[in-house]
Amino acid sequence: MVVRTDALTPLVAVSDRTRLAHFRPGTACRIFIVGMRTSTSLRRLSGADRVRLSFADAGGGRPLPLASRRTWIPGLGAGLAFLVVTSMAWEQITYWHSREVHTWFDRVIVLLKGLWVVGLSVGAVVLFAVTIVLLFYRQSARIADGRLIHVAQLGPFRALMEYDLAKVRNLRAVDAGNGRARVWFDYDDGDHKLGRDMTPAEAEARVKMIQAAIDGVSTRRPSQSDAAVPRPTPRL
């Protein structure tokens, strides 16, 4: 059997036109608006000057190592619990559809089974979200162009939160208990933490690295008092 390729060309063209017709400019606008709202919400929560959402990170600058924690073991546990809860919900759904309803007692049983399925479904959604976070959530930080960039990564999705080093105040290592410490700093009207708990020596080393970058920025930028003093105009 011989298939003519010229006969398929109109069908391909119609398929392309249909695909383009479904993707309207309004769809792109909605995606852009959702991204802007998400970026604005993250900026309010983090207190950063700028928050960028991206699927790629060009990197660059000076890396700031953050403490990493082994979360794949609890992630696997949460994933196993998700599979168990999902199988229980599916079993209840199949029972719900196969049961014949004749009396009021049967209706009450079906109603209770339905409520049980709703509870299991909510638990499955929560366990799925916890599994994704434990298995794929990562944090990193770097110093570049006078800014402290904190990157929160969930799989390929990244949220880059940028802080101006000249506005970072009260940089410190705070005791987190159990022989651990965490890096905190004040920015604008709030205090913010950087990364997870680490050893006190690691926290002090990160503080020194960030403080050295802050000192370097302050020496390069003129102070506000110096900028406010008018310079004399040279006489001709």
pLDDT tens digits, residue range 64-86?
Answer: 888 766 778 888 999 999 999 99
Q: Which amino acid is at 83?
A: L
Q: What is the dihedral of CA 130, 131, 133, 137, to 10 degrees?
A: 160
* Per-residue pLDDT at 163: 92
Instruction: Print the SS3 string covering 208-231.
Output: HHHHHHHHHHHHHCCCHHHHHCCC
What pTM, to 2 d.p., does this model score?
Answer: 0.61
| Confidence (pLDDT) at 208 | 92
Helix 72-98 × helix 104-136 angle, to 10°: 160
Average pLDDT (214-229) is 62
With 0-12 / 13-18 / 19 or more C-beta atoms within 10 angstroms meaning exposed / middle / buried, residue 85 is: buried
